[in-house]
Structure 1
Amino acid sequence: MKRLLHSALAATMLVATAGAASARIVTPAEKRFFSYSGEVPPCGDPDVLSTITDRFAQTESEYWDSHLQIITYDRVRSIGIRPWGLDHIPRTFCMARAVLSDHSVHEVSYSIGENLGFSSFGDGVTWCVAGLDREYAYAPNCKDARP
């Protein structure tokens, strides 16, 4: 929460110090028509990690005909809270290290966005497992899954 307030203060100061020609009013996402609370689960939230684990297993099984599964996570950390400013959808970017069922270790980059779940219900979780992004959706090496 302290980082969120620090980010908000920094964004406000940036807008306040910008030149008059380039200044714009920043309306936090929480104040717009489709209101947000501004609260996103932390990176280590069990529901978030469970979502990644389940979707990874499903993708590996159904799409890649693989039996790989994520067994555990460690080194879970936040790498960005609302990095694009207060007027964007509240989102937290995270990274973790995952141990897979074949005992390999991979970095997982993921984001949690408020109201970005199915049909805008619940928090949406977008993820990428480094080295297993076979379609290069977040290439190179999951970089595009980070801020």
Structure 2
Amino acid sequence: MSTQPRLLALAATLMSLLLAPAHAGGLPSTANEPVSRLPMCDAPSVQGAVRHTIARGEPYYRGGIAIENMDLIDETGSARNAPSPVNRRYCRARAYLSNGHQYPVYYMIEEHGGFVGLSWNVEACLPGYDRWHVYDGNCRVVRR
């Protein structure tokens, strides 16, 4: 077999793999399992992402506070194809802040929100510390 027919056969094979439906070959479909690919609200990686999200704010914006610890972590809801096709998990927890106060923290874990859409992302909000209402009044964007 010459080189050109081999390349055409390889290209056809690759295209068929790329165009195959997501459920083919035993792979799970995200349409049927909306939040299964997202980590749970209390996963250590998610807690770290929440702390990082709050800590990365400008010192003027949040007064330099940081989350030292979290407990009472609970999932408050999830969304699939409503209104966006991006799957989301909504969570809340009690945050112990570096200034000695306790506040609720609301956060959303969103599928395909990470680097180049290959992983998940977290958006977090502390009511009363969102001076410019980035997450709308009372953290409405990340609450459910």
Q: The TM-score by the shorter chain falls in which range?
A: 0.5 to 0.7
Counterpart of 2:89, as a letter, is T
User: Is 1:134 matched up with 2:128?
Assistant: no
Q: Shift of the alpha carbon at 1:88? A: 2.7
Could you say if the C-alpha distance between residues 82 and 106 of structure 1 is closer, same or farther in structure 2, counting changes exceeding 3 Å? same
Moved over 6 A (4+): none
One-letter amino acid of the counterpart of residue 70, structure 1? I
The answer to whether the Cα contact below 8 Å between 1:52 and 1:127 also exists between their aligned partners in 2 is yes
Q: Contact between 2:62 and 2:131, CA under 8 Å: does it hold in 1?
A: no
Q: CA deviation at 1:121?
A: 2.3
Task: Pick closer, same or farther for the CA change 1:76–1:130 going to 2, 3 Å.
Answer: same
- Per the normalisation by structure 1, the TM-score is 0.67
Between the aligned partners of 1:75 and 1:145, the Cα distance in structure 2 is 17
- Deviation string, structure 1 residues 95-125 (Cα, Å, up to 9, x no partner): 1110101111111111111111132121111
CA contact (8 A) 1:110 1:125 kept: yes
Q: Secondary structure at the match of 2:134?
A: coil
**Pairwise CA distance, 1:64:** 3.1
In 1: Cα distance, 2:133 partner to 2:43 partner: 27
CA contact (8 A) 1:60 1:68 kept: no
Name the TM-score, length of structure 2 as normaliser. 0.68
Q: Percent identity?
A: 28
**Which whole-Å CA distance do the structure 1 matches of 2:73 and 2:112 have between them?**
22
Q: Which residue of 1 aligns with 2:21?
A: none
**Aligned letter for 2:49?**
T
Q: CA 1:119/1:74 → structure 2, altered by over 3 Å: closer, same or farther?
A: same
Alignment: residue pair count? 114
From 41, 50, 53, the counterpart of 2:51 = 53
Unaligned runs of 5+ in 1: 1-28
Who wins on radius of gyration, i.e. which is larger? 2
| Unaligned stretches of 5+ residues in structure 2 | 1-28
Letter in 2 for 1:59: G
Matched AA of 2:126: V
The corresponding residue for 1:14 is none
CA distance in 2, matches of 1:65, 1:49: 19
